[in-house]
Amino acid sequence: MAEIKAIIFDLGNVLINYSFDRAFQKWAELTDHPPEFFATNFQYDETLWQFERGQITPEEYHQYLSKTMNISGDWDYEIFKEGWIFVNIGLNQKAVELLPLLEKKYLLYVLSNTNELHIESVTKDYPHLFRHFKQKFYSHDLSVRKPDAEIYEKVIKIIDLPPHEILFIDDMVENIRGAEQVGIQGIVMPSPAELKEILIKNGILE
């Protein structure tokens, strides 16, 4: 692995564990619908990607879900929001423990496909996590999602380093491939213990 000067971390299931099943369970607790109703009717679709690109507001996304899931009455915006931010399980402690070691030698950044509600929630819940990073890049701020080449190109321009001096760690193969296509080096997130071993093997950590 070529000399690295900056390391970019994804958030979801890299530094922060999450599961949409938790949202479905929370919405079930707050409404008269079972978790299976939400699991079946929730769509990972272009409108969600629009939300993550900041092209629609949280309120508009709530309205969209209300229509596509054919739910009303006991399903207001506050219930949607409470379940939506409940997806976060907690920090991936073994990965987070690497950050103080890495920031001694490298510039650390975050790059995440996310939305304003999730970022507002995790920033409030885990303020100590974000202290390690020089800058955070979010899809809803950059108006583009991974793995589109444009998001990596925007980050490279802001970081102002040659792409081969940047390492990106993400849990999804397609996001790593997208980064590699613009010259960034990548590691697909294995287990936290394996990540540490990979970083040691590649001379990133001692």
pLDDT tens for 132-149 read 999 999 999 999 999 999
In a domain, 116, yes or no: yes
User: Count of domains in the chain?
Assistant: 2
Helix (H, G, I), strand (E, B) or coil at 86: helix
Domain boundary, last residue among 38, 72, 88: 88
Taken as a whole, the chain contains a residue count of 206
Structure tokens that stand for 65 in this block: 């879900």
Residue-by-residue DSSP string for 132-172: T-SEEEEHHHHT--TTSHHHHHHHHHHHTS-GGGEEEEES-
pLDDT tens for 94-112 read 999 999 999 999 999 999 9
In a domain, 1, yes or no: no
**Pair (123, 62) in one structural domain:** no
CATH number at residue 188: 3.40.50.1000
Closest CA to 27 of 116, 95, 87, 89: 87
* Residue range(s) defining the domain that contains residue 50: 20-88
**Pair (192, 181) in one structural domain:** yes
pLDDT of residue 201: 93
In a domain, 206, yes or no: no
pLDDT tens for 166-198 read 999 999 999 999 999 999 999 999 887 789 999
Q: Given a cut of 90, is residue 2 above it in pLDDT?
A: no
Full-model pTM: 0.95
Q: Given a cut of 70, is residue 72 above it in pLDDT?
A: yes
pLDDT of residue 1: 67
Tell me how far CA of residue 117 lies from CA of 37, 39, 64, 85, 113, in angstroms. 23, 20, 16, 7, 12
pLDDT of residue 206: 86
